[in-house]
Amino acid sequence: MALKRINKELKDLSQDPPTTCSAGPIGEDLFHWQATIMGPKDSPYNGGVFFLSIHFPTDYPFKPPKITFTTKIYHPNINSNGSICLDILKDQWSPALTISKVLLSICSLLTDPNPDDPLVPEIAHIYKTDRHRYESIAKEWTQKYACNVQDKLTAILKATKAHARGLAFFVTIYKSLMLLQRQITSDGKNTDIHTFIAGCVGGWFVFGEKTSVNQQIVLYLFSRIAMGLVNTAMKAGNFNAPPNSFAMFAAICWGIVMVLFRRDKSMLQDSLKNSMTYLYEDSDHWYSLKTLLWHNK
């Protein structure tokens, strides 16, 4: 039940992401997500990007998720551990609520704190008695802890939205073609060739443009396919994997990529080439703390 609901929310977020928030699983663990919230414009958190951790319980959505800020923030309802004092995350939780709605509620909490139910009474007191001082400190913390990643994260959010729309478009094409092919068959059933055709058409129209995001997606798919074929062959008994086979595979991959990087960088995918240039060439100029900070600013 929990996994089905989490997958549905992930799909809904991909198709209709909020303008100031984003969220998605960390790696392949669907019960552990990372979220981001852009500081509301009409608040002292404007210009900041705040990261949050989301842990779903196994009986979700009947129990609320555990959501904490991993970015430090000065707020009467959020403590130094990132815990959030919000009624819908406690006794007012309802299975009808979604992560999207919760994140929007947290955004509203940033705009309108609740000093009468504080998690940090000292900050609540300052909020009530000296609003100017409260906003000044909140802005200072935002600049210090939440603004150094804004430009990079804005680009990431744009790429994430584009990727989400692309996936939604792919699903639409794929399912439409599967339905069409099912209707023109005599038995009304899809076959593997129907699946292959629908996947090819969707891949061509959605991921066929050679962008850095599409390249990474397609290369990731290719790597998973290759590993899947190897595992299938091993299970079928066609050959036995030698000891330390993955270590050998990793060693060969790194050896080849370093030779390609040295001899002809143009053969490498753009993001890989840029990362390796940063690590193996720019690092030659990190002679002091000053130059290290300059290259990593």
Q: What is the pLDDT of residue 296?
A: 47
Average pLDDT over residues 127-137: 97
For residue 290, pLDDT over 70 is answered with no
- pLDDT class of 153 with cuts at 50, 70, 90: low
Catalytic residue list: 85
Q: What is the pLDDT of residue 292?
A: 45
For residue 214, pLDDT over 60 is answered with yes
Q: What is the pLDDT of residue 240?
A: 67
CA 279 to CA 283: how far, in whole Å? 6
pLDDT above 90 coverage of the chain, percent: 46
For residue 131, pLDDT over 90 is answered with yes
For residue 66, pLDDT over 60 is answered with yes
Contact 175, 208 (CB under 8 A): no
List beta partners, residue 67: 54
Average pLDDT over residues 21-30: 86
Average pLDDT over residues 151-180: 76
Residue ranges of domains in the chain, CATH in brackets:
2-146 (3.10.110.10), 246-297 (no CATH)
For residue 136, pLDDT over 90 is answered with yes
Arithmetic mean of pLDDT over the chain: 84
Distances in Å between the Cα of 160 and the Cα atoms of 9, 23, 171, 270 are: 16, 10, 16, 18
- pLDDT class of 160 with cuts at 50, 70, 90: low
Q: What is the pLDDT of residue 92?
A: 94
CA 75 to CA 167: how far, in whole Å? 37
- pLDDT class of 142 with cuts at 50, 70, 90: very high
CA nearest to 95, candidates 226, 1, 172: 1
- Strand 49-55 to strand 66-69: parallel, antiparallel, or no bridges (unpaired)? antiparallel
